[in-house]
Amino acid sequence: MKSNTLSGRLTAVAGLSLAIALTSCGGQASDEAPSAETAATPSPAAAPDEGPPAVTIDSPADGAVLESANVDVTLSVRGIEIAPVAEGRMETAHHHLFLDVEVTSLDQPVPQDNPQIVHMGDGRSSHTFEGLGPGPHRLIAVLADLGHVPLSPLVSDTIDFRVGG
Ligand SMILES: [Cu+2]
């Protein structure tokens, strides 16, 4: 009997959530059903492909040969939220780019005074390096926390590219 009672309560709670979802949705009837289902899912924040945090340098491609000395870099992540440092949210991270330098000590804040290292502390996911010299370059992306210390375990991606033929 206890389980029946509990089950009844859960059903009542689920019904209440559904009612709230329907009320707050305010969309057309055809849109409300999927919204209500999403709201009733136990952990709606967890997307199916979310695993440990990972960062990817989407552009340039690894091994790319680029004509322009101005190189656009775009980044993507999964498993963690990128946000401005100014928001002060511990669970988020921000991007760093190391161009032609090794990653600095993993237990120390990423240096802010090295022109070869870019902090993207405003939460952006793209950066343009201007006037790169011809020849090979190595780019390393590293996620770090609010204190600019690389996440542990390290979350990074590395590519090599070349400017000019
Ligand atoms: Cu930083």
Q: How confident is the model at residue 49 (pLDDT cuts 50, 70, 90)?
A: low
What local confidence, expressed as pLDDT, does residue 84 receive? 98
DSSP-derived pairing of the beta strands 156-163 and 92-99: unpaired
Q: How far is the CA of 118 from the centre of ligand 1 (A)?
A: 8
Bridge partners (DSSP) listed for residue 137: 161
Cβ atoms of 86 and 146 closer than 8 Å: no
Query: The pTM is what?
Result: 0.71
Distance 94 CA to ligand 1 centre (A): 6
Residue 118 has what pLDDT? 98
Find the 38 Cα to ligand 1 centroid distance in Å: 35
In 3D, which of 152, 164, 139, 154 has the Cα closest to residue 75? 139
Ligand 1 mean position, distance from CA 119 (Å): 5
Return d(Cα 131, Cα 44) in angstroms, integer.
44
Ligand 1 center to 163 CA (angstroms): 26
**Average pLDDT in the 122-149 region?**
98
The alpha carbon of 84 and the centre of ligand 1 are apart by a number of angstroms equal to 10
Percentage of the chain beyond pLDDT 90 is 68
Q: Tell me: the pLDDT tens digits for 94-105?
A: 999 999 999 999
108 C-alpha to ligand 1 centroid (Å): 11
From residue 109, alpha-carbon distances to 45, 94, 116, 140, 149 in Å are 29, 13, 15, 16, 4
> Tokens 């322009």 map to which residue?
68
31 Cα: distance to centroid of ligand 1 (angstroms):
41
Nearest residue to 94 (alpha-carbon basis) of 58, 55, 61, 62:
55
Select the CATH number that applies to the domain covering 54-163 from these four: 2.60.40.10, 2.102.10.10, 3.40.50.880, 3.40.50.300.
Answer: 2.60.40.10
- Paired residues of 163 in beta bridges: 66, 135
pLDDT higher than 90, residue 163: yes
146 alpha carbon to ligand 1 midpoint, in Å? 7
**Mean pLDDT within 1-30:** 41
Alpha carbon of 75 to ligand 1 centroid (Å): 15
Whole-number average pLDDT of the chain? 81
**Out of 10-19, 89-98, 139-148, 154-163, which region has the weakest mean confidence (pLDDT)?**
10-19
> In the chain, what are the domain boundaries?
2-40, 54-163
